[in-house]
Amino acid sequence: MRAKVNPTRMELTKLKRQLSVATRGHKLLKDKQDEMVRQFMLLIKQNRELRIEIERELQEINSEFYKARLKMNYQGIMEALMIPSNSAKIKVSSKSIMNINVPTLKYQDEGNIDLTYGFAFTPSELDSSVIRLSKLLNKLILLAEVEKSSDMLAKEIEKTRRRVNAIEHVMIPEMQESIRYITMKLDDNERSNIIRLMKSKEIILNKNN
Amino acid sequence: MKERIDMAAIGKEDTIVLFNAIGIPTFICNDKDEADKIIFDLTNKSCRIIYVGEEIYEAIPETLDKYSKSPFPIIIPIPEGIDSKGVGLKKIKDNVEKAIGIDIF
């Protein structure tokens, strides 16, 4: 669909300028999208590997915890796990991937974990599951970071793609159509002008003869 | 609790209590309204990462949507119990489809 435009020279130059801007914008956005997809592929691969690894590990930890729970009463376990050995702290900053601010997290490791409960009444499975989980913590934090980054990237890629498509398939064709219409109209005017001149010249010549 | 919380875990089953032992405060909750409220409170305490058990994660899409636009808190699903429902992997799949158009894994 062609937008309603006045077939004037001024409109034509305006449209031509707009078209060149749109083409340049389209190219830039396309490049941005390509780069984001590349970054996204790297992230999502890492994300997938981490996710699979962590899920497997967590399942094993949980099954060990179940074993511990069989050997001990519920209150006892809850009591043993009530007090944290150290509070997990993370350092937060952000980095920019193609102008999207994604979070980066850093776990502040405070050395090895101490078990804060007495060993007399707790089964060994509980100890090992807690220790294994504490070793997994680093990866859990990395997973959070990677997963959030790929989340945000995916959203941005979708948005950019929509923009690229809108420019490529709607805006640019519309402008080209308008430019064509204006040039045709202007040419037509030119031609009719010439014909008018020719005609009047003929009439004048006839009169003089 | 005036202390700032960096990470937290929410789950339905008591396996989540293990996180308590390594310094991550845990919350056991059963329905989605409760989970929503806990997440809201945690966000106000500037919590960065919230690990949510898969079952609850699936039940609170509106809450997740609300926090997905800002960089924090990061809410990610973790398996509870001894088998995973694959919620995390499904999320990865969705992301790939959203970004590229087809699932390539």
Collapsed DSSP state (helix, strand, coil) of residue B51: strand
Instruction: Tell which of B45, B95, B96, B103 to mutate to test the A interface (max A CBs under 10 Å).
Output: B95
User: How confident is the model over A105-140, as pLDDT tens digits?
Assistant: 777 776 666 666 777 777 777 778 888 887 888 888
- CB-CB: which of A62, A74, A90 is closest to B7? A90
Lowest mean pLDDT across A85-89, A93-97, A202-206 = A85-89
Total number of domains constituting chain B: 1
Q: Which residues of A touch B20 (CB under 8 A)?
A: 81-82, 84
B23/A105 CB distance under 8 A: no
CATH number of the CATH domain containing B21: 3.40.50.10580
Instruction: Tell which of B3, B5, B6, B47 to mutate to test the A interface (max A CBs under 10 Å).
Output: B6
Give the residue from chain A lying closest to B101, CA to CA.
A158
CA distance A26 to B84: 43
Residue B83 lies in a domain: yes
Write out the two tokens for A172. Answer: 């640019």
User: How confident is the model over A6-61, as pLDDT tens digits?
Assistant: 888 899 999 999 999 999 999 999 999 999 889 888 888 888 888 888 888 888 88
Q: Which domain holds residue B38?
A: 7-100
Residue B15 lies in a domain: yes
CA distance A44 to A41: 5
User: Confidence band (pLDDT; 50, 70, 90) for B4?
Assistant: low
Give the residue from chain B lying closest to A159, CA to CA.
B99
B22/A37 CB distance under 8 A: no
Return mean pLDDT, chain B: 79
Q: What is the mean pLDDT of residues B28-47?
A: 82
ipTM above 0.90, yes or no: no
Give residue A114's pLDDT: 66
Give the residue from chain B lying closest to A135, CA to CA.
B22
Residue A1 has pLDDT above 60, yes or no: no
Residue B51 lies in a domain: yes
Neighbours of B48 (CB within 10 A): 24
3-state secondary structure chain A: CCCCCCCCHHHHHHHHHHHHHHHHHHHHHHHHHHHHHHHHHHHHHHHHHHHHHHHHHHHHHHHHHHHHHHHCCHHHHHHHHHCCCCCCEEEEEEEEECCEEEEEEEEECCCCCCCCCCCCCCCHHHHHHHHHHHHHHHHHHHHHHHHHHHHHHHHHHHHHHHHHHHHHHHHHHHHHHHHHHHHHHHHHHHHHHHHHHHHHHHHHHHHHC
Residue B46 lies in a domain: yes
Domains of chain A in start order, with CATH, are: 9-203 (1.10.287.3240)
A102 touches A149 (CB < 8 A): yes
Residue B105 lies in a domain: no
Lowest mean pLDDT across A79-83, A161-165, B66-70 = A79-83
User: Confidence band (pLDDT; 50, 70, 90) for A201?
Assistant: very high
